[in-house]
């Protein structure tokens, strides 16, 4: 019932009451109060119905959206499943083709290898190369064996103090056996034979040649120390001291460095004592 209709109803009711005179003033006021209450309740009810209609519309919209999303998800899942099936089929074909190709390639490689082996085995040049290689290896083994025999014989000569004979054998190794594993030792022992014969100048030259060729060899500290000793035997203390200092500098942790330090101390001591004895005495005048 609208406001306009309600007002019309009240006016009609008022007129009717006045005409009939059956309704008292108190009853009339009570009726108006009840009608006003009904009017308020009616307005509240219409507001609630409007809010309910809004909520229903929103729920309907949300339901439509959810339904659409669900249908889209189902469609996407179905498409994905189709793609997975197609991928599995393609993967199976690829693996099958790969297996077949690998098998064919292996067969081809085996045939090529077989043909190459046949060609190598039947080629006169290859047979000659193999023969030459075997001959060369055999010759090398015999050569190194011969060098070792000469080397051992030279050491026997050193023990027997046959220094010239030993030196000749070491020089033969240096000249004719460049691949001999003990070639550096042969250079060193040439210097040792000279030193043993007190041919100090030749020993110095031999040690120096060894040090130039093999400065990091295990016998290098000993060769340099003996070189200094040779200079000392030649009474060249100044050069000997320089060589001993070089031993300490290049091979500081070696036993030869300790010996070199002692030799330097001896040289300095001898120089100090020599300077004292050579000092001229003051002359006294006769009065």
pLDDT in tens, 129-171: 555 666 666 767 888 899 999 999 999 999 999 999 999 999 9
For residues 205 and 234, give the distance between their C-alpha atoms in angstroms, rounded to a whole number.
14
Residue 2, burial from CB neighbour count under 10 angstroms (0-12, 13-18, 19+): exposed
In terms of pLDDT, which residue wins out, 70 or 244? 244
For residues 194 and 190, give the distance between their C-alpha atoms in angstroms, rounded to a whole number.
7
Q: What angle do CA 168, 171, 176 make, to 5 degrees?
A: 120
Instruction: Flag whether pLDDT at 117 surpasses 70.
Output: yes
Average pLDDT over the chain, rounded to an integer = 82
Statement: the pTM of the whole predicted model exceeds 0.85: no
Q: How many CB atoms lie within 10 A of CB 214?
A: 17
Confidence of residue 172 (pLDDT cuts 50, 70, 90): very high
For residues 154 and 190, give the distance between their C-alpha atoms in angstroms, rounded to a whole number.
10
Instruction: Flag whether pLDDT at 283 surpasses 50.
Output: no
Rg, the chain, Cα only? 61
Cα→Cα distances 94→84, 86, 121, Å = 15, 12, 40
Place of tokens 């691949």: 179
Q: What pLDDT was estimated at residue 46?
A: 82
Residue 220, burial from CB neighbour count under 10 angstroms (0-12, 13-18, 19+): buried
For residues 184 and 6, give the distance between their C-alpha atoms in angstroms, rounded to a whole number.
134
For residues 227 and 250, give the distance between their C-alpha atoms in angstroms, rounded to a whole number.
14
For residues 254 and 91, give the distance between their C-alpha atoms in angstroms, rounded to a whole number.
70
């Amino acid at each position: 019932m609208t406001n306009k209709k309600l007002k019309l109803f009240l006016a009609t009711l008022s007129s009717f009451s006045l005409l009939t005179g059956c309704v008292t003033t108190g009853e009339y006021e009570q009726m108006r109060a009840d009608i006003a209450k009904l009017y308020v309740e009616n307005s509240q009810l219409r507001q609630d119905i409007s809010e309910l209609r809004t909520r229903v519309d929103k729920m309907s919209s949300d339901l439509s959206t959810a339904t659409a999303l669900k249908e889209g998800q189902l469609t996407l899942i179905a498409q994905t499943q189709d793609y997975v099936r197609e991928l599995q089929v393609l993967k199976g074909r690829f693996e099958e083709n790969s297996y077949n190709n690998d098998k064919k390639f292996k067969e081809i490689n085996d045939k090529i290898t077989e043909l190459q082996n046949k060609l190598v085995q039947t080629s006169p040049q290859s047979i000659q190369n193999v023969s030459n290689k075997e001959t060369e290896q055999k010759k090398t083994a015999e050569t190194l064996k011969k060098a070792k025999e000469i080397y051992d014989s030279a050491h026997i000569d050193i023990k027997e103090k046959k220094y010239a004979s030993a030196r000749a054998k070491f020089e033969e190794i240096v000249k004719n056996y460049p691949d001999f594993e003990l070639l550096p030792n042969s250079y060193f022992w040439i210097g040792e034979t000279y030193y043993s014969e007190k041919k100090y100048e030749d020993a110095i030259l031999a040690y120096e040649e060894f040090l130039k060729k093999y400065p990091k060899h295990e016998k290098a500290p000993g060769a340099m120390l003996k070189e200094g000793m040779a200079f000392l035997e030649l009474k060249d203390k100044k050069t000997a001291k320089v060589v001993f200092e070089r031993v300490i500098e290049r091979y500081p942790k070696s036993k030869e460095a300790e010996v070199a330090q002692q030799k330097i101390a001896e040289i300095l001591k001898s120089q100090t004592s020599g300077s004292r004895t050579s000092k001229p005495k003051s002359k006294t005048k006769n009065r």
